[in-house]
Amino acid sequence: MDAIKEFFRDQAQYLRKEVWEVARQIGEHPELGYKEYFASEVLCSYLQKHGFEVKRGIAGVETAFLARFPGTGPGPRVAYLAEYDALPGVGHGCGHNLIGAASAGAAVILSKSLELTGEILVIGSPAEETSGAKVTLVEEGIFKDVDAAIMFHPGSQNVPVISSLALDALEFTFHGRAAHSVAATNFGINALDAVINFFVGINALKKQLSQDMKVNGIITEGGTAPNIIPERAVARFYIRAKKRKDLDELREQVIRCAEGAATMVSAKMTWQKFEFSYDEMHTNLALAACFTKNLQEMGIHQIASPQTAMGSVDMGNVSRAVPAIHPYLTLGTGTEIPHTRDFAQAALSSDGESLVMLAMLTLALTGWDVVSDKKLLQQMKQEFLSMK
């Protein structure tokens, strides 16, 4: 390992305690998406303490932030993505406290080098679990002139190359006519019946879909009292597919199902998106190979082959705007299931601390390669352009 990387390794050791303190504080103080006031403040003040210029509240999102540290000369711009939202009921069951801390830690490590050129950014991106703010941050041009977008996510395996499913969040409202359930049945139009028809139709549709297409729904409104024919019923769905193009087609099929279900009982149907749409994740393979090489230099050799995460991430939208990676690294023994209290506990344990250390150093070394290795940068750009 060359001298500069040894220097970063020493910095990581030196920063270990305080970065873990950031992760621990956020972990013990879980906040839901767009309410992460405590977490974003912890990260912002940590970065400010290390000389970053910090803008709190960007792109109209209060708990988003942009921290920047300029190098000593012109060069590439590397953005580390910080996530820090929790889940209802299970706290940091997705380990986002570790993501925020590792990204901030990586950026601080790099900022200590007098040889740093270009610019290091930390982009605080709220609400990954719901209507992810990265969608807004991309739309508002926060990633303009960014050469690489980098983060890690705790998981059950080390997986540098992932793809994820594109996602639409659809809400269907069925409009009927209220009437007495017994005395005036011929006057009423039962919106709940339309929803039930809809679910029956969706179950039939599901049998025709390929395995990587997912349709999952719940009924959020189904009437107010058994003696009133429901005049309004609402269902919410997440639909997913491997590619945005296929998802656009699936969405049309699901809408046709809803229309048919309404028609069967002479109800009306309207629909809208109730959260942001996510695109599928395109891992930049050149950047991921660099991350893998650095992971191996850290002594990690159990590395899984590329995988499609059976979920959706708002990093997908970032990956369509700039070269990006979203690698998973093993938390603890890899046996805890994400989105559980056990996972949240592991993310607050010594396993969480070890993972933050590994992640922040690997992220820092990867960022360093991006700013210092022109060939790598060129490969990343070429790959990104051919993907587009």
- C-beta of 22 vs 94, nearer to Zn ion: 94
Does 331 contact Zn ion by CB under 5 A? Answer: no
In the complex, the smallest distance separating the C-beta of residue 128 from Zn ion, rounded to whole angstroms, is: 6
Only one of the segments 94-102, 278-286, 361-369, 371-379 lies at the binding site for Zn ion (rule: CB under 5 A); that segment is 94-102
- Rank residues 94 and 281 by Cβ distance to Zn ion and give the closer one: 94
CA atoms within 13 A on the CB side of 119: 18
Question: What is the rounded distance in angstroms from the CA atom of residue 49 to the CA atom of residue 53?
Answer: 10
Query: Minimum CB separation from Zn ion for residue 86, in Å?
Result: 10
Question: 204 has which bridge partners?
Answer: none
- Contact letters for Zn ion, residues 289-318 (x by CB under 5 A): ------------------------------
Nearest distance, CB of residue 94 and Zn ion, angstroms: 3
Q: Tell whether residue 94 is a contact of Zn ion (CB under 5 A).
A: yes
Stretch that binds Zn ion, among 27-35, 87-95, 208-216, 260-268 (CB under 5 A): 87-95
Q: Judged by CB under 5 A, how many residues of this single chain contact Zn ion?
A: 1
In the complex, least distance from residue 99 CB atom to Zn ion, rounded to whole angstroms: 7
SS3 324: strand
Handedness of CA 354, 355, 360, 362 (dihedral sign): positive
Residue 212: other Cβ atoms inside 10 A: 14
Rounded to whole angstroms, the Cα distance separating 236 from 217 reads 5
Is 344 an interacting residue with respect to Zn ion (CB under 5 A)? no
Residues whose CB is less than 8 angstroms from the CB of residue 276 and which lie 6 or more positions away in sequence, other chains included: 131, 132, 135, 136, 169, 314
* C-beta of residue 316 within 8 angstroms of C-beta of residue 281: yes
Q: Which of 21, 130, 35, 32 is nearest to 90 (CA)?
A: 32
Tell me the closest approach of the beta carbon of residue 299 to Zn ion, in angstroms. 26
The residue of the chain with the least Cβ separation from Zn ion equals: 94
From CA 244, how far away is CA 250, in angstroms rounded?
10
Contact between 133 and Zn ion by CB under 5 A: the answer reads no
As measured in angstroms, the least distance from the Cβ of 337 to Zn ion is 13
Instruction: Tell me which residues touch Zn ion (CB under 5 A).
Output: 94
